[in-house]
Every structure is written in structure tokens, then in C-alpha cells.
Amino acid sequence: MSKSTTASRPTVTKCEDWQAWNEFIETNDGPPFALWGWREACRNYGHDTHYLVAQTEEEIVGALPLVEIRSRLFGSTLVSPPYGERGSLVLSEDAPQSTATQLLQRAQEIADRTGVDYVSLRGTKFELSDSDQFERETRFVTFDIPVDVDHTTMWNGIKESRQRQIDQARDNDLEYVAGDSLDELREYYDLYLRSMRGHGTPPHSFDFFETIWNGFEDHGMAHLGLVRHQGRLINGILNLGCGSTVSQWGVITDYEYRDLQGGSFLLWKSMEHAHERGYSSYELGRTREGTGVYMFKKSFGGKKTYYDDYHYYPNGPVDLPHPDKDAYEPIKEAWKRLPISVTRLIGPTIRKDISL
């Protein structure tokens, strides 16, 4: 990690000024999952938060958002960010060299004091030094697609077979619209419940989505993309933008209609929207290499980028959450058979404790 030095050594404190926090994250091209609206959604689940800033006399030069999750079933952690694609440290270009170390040391102090099992910094964009006592693990990748190019260049970056599927979606009279109301968010959430049950995964609460919507949409940072067939919602996505980048999040599908190629159409139209809004890149979220989802995303082009996750273990290494663990398969299969009314009721009480 290389940062220029300045005369003053920053002071690390807990931030309570959401406007100053958001301004720093946006100005320094941080991820949307580091914004204050994400903090509010996590706090609605009852989680404690530690949003740390490193500040000189003049300004904020570094930030580290941490959410404390405690669960009897899944253990306890400080994570940056839970439920999102990428978080970790955000530093200004002129931050003193000690800034990252000071923020990490404070995170370690909080972990030691609170007794969590580990600290997880997800998707750190630069390499931490060995002295920072965080261990690097590379378990996920993403694809970063340039959208600050002309429309033809964007289209030509997509694999030909995927282009044909997008054209097929148009022939199937699929319609892509931008949702701009809570009623449309509720419609999205109803399909989200069915989609998550299909994956065998507990869902977030509607309040979680509504808090994100209220915290991001008013500032133009949330985009709800909806694909309809004859008026019926069959695909959806919630994209979150910050700085130069749009991050894909919350992709859902009605699998009864998957042959209509709504998923390919949805992603292409989302890229177009990011292009039209003046963003530089569209980030496809964390994916395990070699999976079907990985191959789908790869077909849209872009630069393959590894997500480096860093972990600190106060009391020695522990097993990290792994969504594809064989032990979870019987639970997933049982979840798929539950009525939607049951998954809606009990799902969020489980999901809030799963940091992935």
C-alpha cells in the first residue's frame, strides 16, 4: 500500500456525522456498501456499528465501516460490509502512510474488547502490509465492465451467444423499466422471496430493502431495474452507485420464465443505465470462480478482478462462512419446500445473522 506522507498524524474516532461520512466515501470512490444508508439498514437488524474515521486537523483522510454481528448459530464478527459485495478501508490520495495501520489497529482493539471470533474486511482494493496482522484470502472474483465507452464498444464486449439471447429477449417482447415507487419495490420483494426460496436461502426483511431504498434512492444512488413479460415481473435487480462505479446487487429471477432470457436482458439494460448516468464502470459482484453464475457474468466481458478479503483472528483462526458447504445442503433443500408465508416470517431472523 503506497500513500504519500503529510505533516500531521491522523486521529481515529467513531464517526457520527453522516453527511461528512458520505461525502468522504463518494469523493474517494468508495463502494456503495460503505455509505451511511447501508449502516442504517444494518442497525435496523439490531447490529452495533463502528464507523471509524481517521482525521487530521483539516479533514477526513480515511474511513473503515464495521458492523458487529453476534449469533449463537453463526458466531460473532466485525465485518466490512455484511450482506454487500465490497467494503473495507477507504483512503484519500493524500492520506498519511500511517492511516490504514491506525484504522486497522482500532479495529483490532474493538475486536479484542468485544470478543468477536474474527474481523472480516471484504473486497479490499489494495494490499495490506504484513505488520497489520490481517491474513489475506482470495475466495471470490468479480468482473469490472467499462461503461464510459460508446454503446457499440459495450455491445461488442459481450460474447456472441449472449448477444443472441439479448436479441431473443427483445423478440419475446420483454420490457425493462426503472422502478421508482415503494409499490414497485414491494413487487420486487415478492419475487425476491420466491427467488431466494428457490436458492434455499433465507431472505432479508422488506424493512431492510426499504431502508436501503430510502437511504440511496433520494440521492440517485439506487436503481431498481425490472423486466416484465406481458405485465408480469419476471426479473429484477437493485443496483447501487457510488463515485465512479455501479455495483450489482439483489438479482432475482422467476425461474418459470427463464427461457425468455430475461436475465441476460436485465444485465444488458442495467449496463446501459449505468452508461447513461455517466458512471465509469459496472461491477458484477462477488462470485465463486468456475460456477454457472461466474460463466454467465464472464460472457459480458470486462476485467476479471479478484476480491481480496482480509481477516484478523483475536483468538486464532476459525472456519469462515462458506455458502456452498456440503453440510448446508439438507437445510437448503428443506428451505425450498417451505411456504412463502413462512420464509417471509422467519427468514429475516436467520438472514440478519449471516454476514455473507
Q: Are residues 81 and 178 in the same domain?
A: no
191-248 pLDDT, tens digit each: 999 999 999 999 999 999 999 999 987 667 999 999 999 999 999 999 999 999 999 9
Residues β-bridged to residue 14: 52
Whether residue 248 is contained in a domain is answered as: yes
Give CA–CA dist 276/220, Å, rounded: 13
CA 226-230-231 angle, 5° bins:
50
Which of 306, 322, 341 is the endpoint of a domain? 306
**What was the pLDDT predicted at 4?**
42
- pLDDT score recorded for residue 58: 78
Other beta carbons within 10 angstroms of residue 293's beta carbon come to: 13
Last residue of a domain, one of 275, 290, 306: 306
Residue 143 sits at φ, ψ, to 5 deg, of -125, 130
d(CA 105, CA 132): 8
Domain membership of residue 5 (yes or no) is no
Check which CATH number belongs to the domain holding 179 and give it: 3.40.630.30
Q: State phi, psi for 168 to the nearest 5 degrees.
A: -65, -40
Query: Could you tell me if residue 354 is inside a domain?
Result: no
Q: Residue 191: which region, alpha, beta or left (left: phi > 0; alpha: psi -120 to 50)?
A: alpha
Q: Let me know if residue 201 belongs to a domain.
A: yes
What are the φ/ψ torsions at residue 126 (nearest 5 degrees)? -140, 160
Q: Where are the alpha helices (DSSP H) in the chain?
A: 18-27, 36-44, 99-114, 151-156, 160-171, 182-199, 206-216, 262-276, 292-298, 329-336, 340-351
The pLDDT, as a whole number, for residue 3 is 43
Predicted local distance difference test score (pLDDT) of residue 151:
93
Burial category of 99 from C-beta neighbours within 10 Å (exposed 0-12, middle 13-18, buried 19 and up): buried
Q: 122-159: string of b/e by CB count within 10 Å (b at 16+)?
A: bbbbeebeeebbbeeeeebbbbbbbbeeeeeebeeebe
Which one-letter amino acid corresponds to residue 66?
Answer: L
Judgement on whether residues 312 and 301 belong to the same structural domain of the protein? no
Question: Is there a single domain that holds both residue 230 and residue 156?
Answer: yes
Domain assignment present for residue 1? The answer is: no
Domain identity same for 148 and 131: no
Residue 355 in domain: no
Specify the DSSP class assigned to residue 205.
P
> Is residue 85 domain-resident?
yes
- Contact between residue 232 and residue 175 where contact means Cβ atoms under 8 Å apart: no
For the chain, what is the domain count?
2
> Tens of pLDDT along the chain (356 residues)?
444 444 478 999 999 999 999 999 999 999 999 999 999 999 999 999 999 999 998 799 999 999 999 998 888 999 999 999 998 999 999 999 899 999 999 999 999 999 999 999 999 888 887 667 899 998 899 999 999 999 999 999 999 999 999 999 999 999 999 999 999 999 999 999 999 999 999 999 999 999 999 998 766 799 999 999 999 999 999 999 999 999 999 999 999 999 999 999 999 999 999 999 999 999 999 999 989 999 999 999 999 999 899 999 999 888 887 766 666 788 889 999 999 999 999 999 999 999 98
Whether residue 121 sits in one domain with residue 63: yes
**Are 218 and 289 contained in the same domain?**
yes
Clarify whether residues 314 and 298 are in a common domain.
no
Q: What is the pLDDT at residue 253?
A: 96
Q: Are residues 54 and 150 in the same domain?
A: no
* Domain membership of residue 228 as a residue range: 143-306
Do 126 and 40 belong together in one domain?
A: yes
Residues 208 and 87 in one domain: no
* Same structural domain, 20 and 88: yes
Do the domain assignments include residue 4? no
Indicate whether 218 and 237 sit together in one domain. Answer: yes
